């Protein structure tokens, strides 16, 4: 049997980390089994549907570089893959259940249903009261044919239990009396509910495995009842562990970024996000943290899933992102960081693309920050001093610990003496020169470098000083040192 699984989102919101984890596990399982990964849009909730959310889905998967084998945009043998384009199918199968006595017409108005809901809530119960369940079939068919508004409801077998086996959770049994009482399958507007469309589509699309979050577990008995009502064999179910915040509650905005757009804006790399998310609730190889998507696909197994909820650790994800940043070449990293630089106005006003020289300098600066950033969005702020003249800091910023203003001016003048040769030396040569000069002057190496760093970069903490002087060049470096000496001399 060919493995066929799917990601079936409802386009009623932005793609978030939980949904992407479900999609990724389905993708990895299909790839690990040589099967097919399918995208289906479950767009029957027309009150919350927005085409912008459909575009967000495509943009998200394009950024993540996750590809499906069949879907709305590329087609396939089981299409269409958008539920709103399959409405006649759902009506056909709802009517089949009517004919088999597994479903019935319901003529209750929305007003009555609201009254029932309130009354049952007061009685600490919920769901429909099955008022229309026992209307004779001929009478119900006549009323429907006469144009009386109706829905079609599933007739849940009462006094029984529904059993199914979950690949992760084992045998599950649910009393039918605890299942949603006779849920609507086909709404009065002709649109199916999630339950009918989901089951029909999974059957017609040949879905062999349903991998979804454990929050959907309570709907599975209903789906199994539907499969049996049709006389179909259900697919194999695997309800994935939930993704929780570190407080033990379901991951949400209060914990931090959850939409993939937010992670993208903050400067996460898609490879880092996929690598980390793939480990949420699954294990692969002892002692190994970094995997390519291809490696994950080869090693993924349902047998390696964890029953316990997965905890989303933003610090751990940050670590992964830093690792992937450091694996990029200077050219690759510059290309990835460039949109953030343009947005920040690194080369002038926001959006300014800068000159060819600016871009070349930006690429050349990548070694200075590659080991010091965790997000692409941090890069422009750390390199601003290379492209715009920083203001000269207050005199106190230049003074090393246990030193004074007079000694600091002397140290900076010594730094000025060696700035020109430093601009033409590599790091090893520059370090040797500075150490030699510090010994000659009888000062600590750190004390010699502190005023020079502040003068050149505008801050006590900055990317490497020697590389900064090389990129700025002797002329610009000397100009900044002279400006700093002018401020210090006035202060003296």
Residue pair 362/341 in contact by the 8 Å Cβ criterion: yes
Residue 448 has pLDDT above 90, yes or no: yes
* pLDDT tens-digit readout, 410-446: 999 999 999 999 999 999 999 999 999 999 999 999 9
Output the pLDDT for position 253: 79
pLDDT single digits (tens) 103-157: 999 999 999 999 999 998 888 888 899 999 999 999 999 999 999 999 999 999 9
Kindly state the percentage of the chain with pLDDT values over 70: 100
Give dist(CA 307, CA 247) in Å, integer.
18
pLDDT of residue 127: 87
CA 419 – CA 415 distance, rounded (Å): 6
Among 126-130, 332-336, 338-342, 371-375, name the one with the lowest average pLDDT: 126-130
Whether residue 313 contacts residue 54, with contact meaning beta carbons closer than 8 Å, is answered with no
Cα dihedral angle (9, 12, 16, 18), rounded to 10 degrees?
A: -50
Distance CA 428, CA 436 (A): 12
List the one residue out of 34, 31, 32, 28 whose CA is nearest residue 2. 34
Catalytic residues: 253
The confidence band for 492, taking pLDDT boundaries of 50, 70 and 90, is confident
User: What is the pLDDT, as a whole number, of residue 126?
Assistant: 83
What are the DSSP calls for 417-482, one per residue? HHHHHHTTS-HHHHHHHHHHHHHHHT--HHHHHHHHHHHHHSSSS-S-HHHHHHHHHHHHHHHHHH
Q: Is the pLDDT of residue 349 over 80?
A: no
Environment class of 68 (CB within 10 Å of its CB; exposed 0-12, middle 13-18, buried 19+) = buried
Q: Can you tell me the distance from the alpha carbon of 257 to that of 242, in angstroms, rounded to the nearest whole number?
A: 17
- Tokens 């150490």 correspond to 435
Is the separation of the CB atoms in 462 and 385 below 8 Å? yes
Q: What are phi and psi of 231, to 5 degrees?
A: 85, 25
- The predicted model gives 154-169 an average pLDDT of 96
Does residue 7 register a pLDDT over 80?
yes
**DSSP per-residue codes, 223-267:** HHHHHHHHT----EEEEEPPEE-TTSSBP-GGGS--BHHHHHHHT
Instruction: For each of the domains in the chain, give its residue range(s) and CATH number, in order of start.
Output: 86-240 (3.90.800.10), 253-326 (1.10.1160.10), 330-387 (1.10.8), 395-491 (1.10.10.350)
Query: Looking at the predicted structure, is the pLDDT value of residue 352 above 80?
Result: no
For residue 363, the model assigns a pLDDT of: 97
CA quadruple 111, 225, 213, 310: dihedral, nearest 10: 120
Q: Is residue 18 very low, low, confident or very high in pLDDT (cuts 50, 70, 90)?
A: very high
Distance CA 418, CA 432 (A): 12
CB 172 within 8 A of CB 166: yes
31-67 confidence digits (pLDDT tens) = 999 999 999 999 988 889 999 999 999 999 999 999 9
Contact 281, 169 (CB under 8 A): no
* pLDDT > 90 in the chain, percent: 90
pLDDT of residue 65: 96
Tens-digit pLDDT profile for residues 283-319:
998 889 999 999 999 999 999 999 999 999 999 999 9
Mean pLDDT, the chain, rounded, equals: 95
Give residue-wise pLDDT tens across range 189-242.
Answer: 999 999 999 999 999 999 999 999 999 999 999 999 999 999 999 999 999 999
Phi, psi of 331 (to 5 degrees): -65, -45
Q: How confident is the model at residue 85 (pLDDT cuts 50, 70, 90)?
A: very high
């Amino acid at each position: 049997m060919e493995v066929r699984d799917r990601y079936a989102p409802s386009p009623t919101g932005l793609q978030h980390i939980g949904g992407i984890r479900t999609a990724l596990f389905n993708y990895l399982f299909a790839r690990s089994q040589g099967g097919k990964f399918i995208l289906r849009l479950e767009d029957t909730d027309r009150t919350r549907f927005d085409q912008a959310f459909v575009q967000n889905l495509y943009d998200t998967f394009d950024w993540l570089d996750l590809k499906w084998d069949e879907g709305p945009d590329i087609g396939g043998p089981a299409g269409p893959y958008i539920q709103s384009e399959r409405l006649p199918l759902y009506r056909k199968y709802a009517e089949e259940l009517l004919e088999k006595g597994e479903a019935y017409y319901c003529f209750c108005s929305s007003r009555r249903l609201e009254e029932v809901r309130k009354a049952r809530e007061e009685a600490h119960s919920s769901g429909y009261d099955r008022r229309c369940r026992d209307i004779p079939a001929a009478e119900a068919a006549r009323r429907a044919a006469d144009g009386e508004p109706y829905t079609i409801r599933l007739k849940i077998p009462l006094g029984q239990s529904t059993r199914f086996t979950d690949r992760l959770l084992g045998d599950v049994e649910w009393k039918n009396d605890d299942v949603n009482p006779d849920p609507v399958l086909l709404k009065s507007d002709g649109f199916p509910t999630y339950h009918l469309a989901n089951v029909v589509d999974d059957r017609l699309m040949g879905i062999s495995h349903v991998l979804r979050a454990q929050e959907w577990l309570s709907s599975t008995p209903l789906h199994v009842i539907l499969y049996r009502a049709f006389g179909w064999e259900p697919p194999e179910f695997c309800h994935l562990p939930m993704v929780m915040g570190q407080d033990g509650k379901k991951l949400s905005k209060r914990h931090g970024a959850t939409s993939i757009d937010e992670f993208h804006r903050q400067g996460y790399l898609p490879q880092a996000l996929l690598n980390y998310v793939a480990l949420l609730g699954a294990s692969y190889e002892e002692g190994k943290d970094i995997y390519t998507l291809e490696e994950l696909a080869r090693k993924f197994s349902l047998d390696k899933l964890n029953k316990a909820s997965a905890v989303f650790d933003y610090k751990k994800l940050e670590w992964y992102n830093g690792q992937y940043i450091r694996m990029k070449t200077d050219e690759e990293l510059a290309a990835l960081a460039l949109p953030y630089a343009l947005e920040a106005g690194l080369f002038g006003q926001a959006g300014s693309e800068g000159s060819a020289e600016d871009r070349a300098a930006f690429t050349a600066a990548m070694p200075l920050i590659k080991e010091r950033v965790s997000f692409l969005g941090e890069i422009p702020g750390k390199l601003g001093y290379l492209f715009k003249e920083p203001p000269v800091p207050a005199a106190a910023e230049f003074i090393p610990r246990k030193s004074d203003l007079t000694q600091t001016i002397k140290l900076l003048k010594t730094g000025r003496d060696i700035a020109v040769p430093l601009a033409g030396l590599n790091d090893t040569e520059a370090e040797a020169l500075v150490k030699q000069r510090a010994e000659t002057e009888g000062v600590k190496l750190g004390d010699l470098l502190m005023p020079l760093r502040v003068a050149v970069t505008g801050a006590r903490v900055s990317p490497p000083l020697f590389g900064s002087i090389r990129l700025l060049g002797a002329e610009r470096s000397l100009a900044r040192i002279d400006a700093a000496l002018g401020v210090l001399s006035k202060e003296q």
